[in-house]
Each structure stands twice: as C-alpha cells, then as structure tokens.
Amino acid sequence: MDRNELISMLETKAKKLRRGVIVSIGVGLAGHVGGSCSSADIVSALYFYKMHYDPKNPKMKDRDRFLLSKGHVAILQYTALAEAGFFPYEELAHTKEIGSMLQGHPDVQKTPGIEAGTGSLGQGLSIALGMSLGMKLDRIENRKVYVLIGDGELDEGQNWEAAMACAAHKADNLCAIVDRNRLQATGKIVERFPIEPIDKKFEAFGWNVIEIDGHNMGEIIDALDKSDSVKDKPTVIIANTIKGKGISFAENVVSFHNGILSEEQYQQALKELS
C-alpha cells in the first residue's frame, strides 16, 4: 500500500484500539482511559507497521520487543494483542475478572505477547536495556526493543540511571517513547513534580532525541523509521499527546486517568469511536 493508505489503515487501527479500551473497562468500574487513549496512535504504529512478531509463536527469538513501562494502561496493549491475533478479541470483556488472562497490569505468565511484568513505575527502561544488550549478545540484528514511558513516570529516578546506562552501552537497538500528555494521576505534571525540559535532559545523557505530534501518524512512523538509522546511541521519541484523545468528555480531564464510566458515557464513547 502507498503512504496515504498506510496512514489511513493505522489511524483506523488506533480508533479500534481506543474502542477496545472502552470495551475492556465497561460500566461502573475504574479503568485507565486517559493514558490508554493518549498512547493509542503510537501503539497502533508499533504493532501494525513497525514491529516484527508472530502471534502464533510469541517467544520466537527473532522478534522485536515491546515493553509497556506505564503498565497501568495494560488494557491498551491487550487490545493491540487481540487485534494482532495473539488471543480472541472476546477476552477483552473479561479484563480484570478473577481467573482472566488479562489482569490490571501486564503479566508475562498469563498473557501471550507480554515481555515483562510492568506497572511498578520507572522500571521499564532498565528492563528494556537488559533485553537490548541480550539481543546484541545473541547477535539478533535488525530488531529493536521499544519501551513506552509516561511523562509522569519520569518522576522516578530509576529512569535516569537507566538513561545513563543506555547511552554508556551504546544501545542503538533500543527506542524509548515518552507519552508526553502533561497530566498524571492527581493533576498537571508542572504543578506536581516538574520534569521539563525532557528533550534537553535526554540529550545531556547522550541520547538521540526526536520530538513529534503523538497523534500525527505520519510523524510517528517517520520517527520510528529514523531511529533505525541511528548508530551507537539509543533514541527517545518524545510524543506530544492529549490525555483521553478521541473521547470528547475525557480529553485533558485528569479524573479519567483512572476513571469510572457511566452507562451513558460508555455508550457515548463507543459511538464516538465507531
């Protein structure tokens, strides 16, 4: 397909991912609407354009790896995995049920396609570095480790220790993506624990930095492609996003970081994403 067709397909997939997030949450139970929807375009580009994997053989050696460091938005990754064929889409309706394969945070033992248990914020980049170095030792070439990090998550100091280590080890097969929606659980990041300038900090640690509109699919795929040509340093893509993107009543509303949908809101969200 040509570029315009590709972008249109990925945008459609992103809308399906957002819809799957709503299906996973359901009515009357808390779920992470905001950060799932802000990252949906990025995850769509990763799973349906960039990454090499086999849903019938999730642990094949020659695969790209994706780590959801902000593991509280696991419902977004579950929807992508279902859409990619790792398990039936119908499983999404059973998210967080006792005995379900889909729990509140990613569980490598329960869910095919999950690379690590995440959700204790700040640890994903360290895990990703270990995986990237392991791939180099195993001589797995032309494959990457992608790790999605929340901007609020960068409050955690372990990220910056990992950032130094990634640069020191010249981990050019590692690409971090920061979902910069500027909101965290209790309010605006700038009012809670200011972390800017993110770009200058990563540059100071020796990273290749790319800044994009995280809802512009053309910019997303171009940034992912550009990261492939960078040698001897890791890449971070800083994606400027809107928390709750695609759902009118949730956009930039901090209460939907982990919000409860009424029946009316549930139906409205599904309608807007249809």
Domain boundaries, the chain: 3-272
For residue 126, give every residue at least 6 positions away whose Cβ sits within 8 Å of its Cβ, in sequence order, or none.
Answer: 158, 161, 162, 165
Which pLDDT score is estimated for 246? 98
User: What are the two backbone dihedrals, phi and then psi, of residue 213, each rounded to the nearest 5 degrees?
Assistant: -80, 115
CB atoms within 10 A of CB 73: 29
* Residue 80, C-beta contacts closer than 8 angstroms, at least 6 positions apart: 17, 43, 44, 46, 47
Give yes or no for a contact between 23 and 262, defined as CB atoms under 8 angstroms apart.
no
Superfamily of domain 3-272: Thiamin diphosphate (ThDP)-binding fold, Pyr/PP domains (3.40.50.970)
Contact between 229 and 237 (Cβ < 8 Å): no
The beta strand positions in 109-194, using DSSP E, are 145-150, 174-180, 183-184, 187-188
DSSP assignment letter at 101: S
pLDDT at 58: 97
Residue 13 belongs to what H/E stretch? helix 3-25
| Predicted pLDDT at 119 | 85
Cα–Cα distance list, 201 to 156, 196, 198, 206, 234 (Å): 14, 8, 5, 9, 14
Can you list the residues of the chain whose pLDDT is less than 50? none
Query: CB–CB of 193/155 below 8 Å?
Result: yes
Residue 182 is given by DSSP the state S
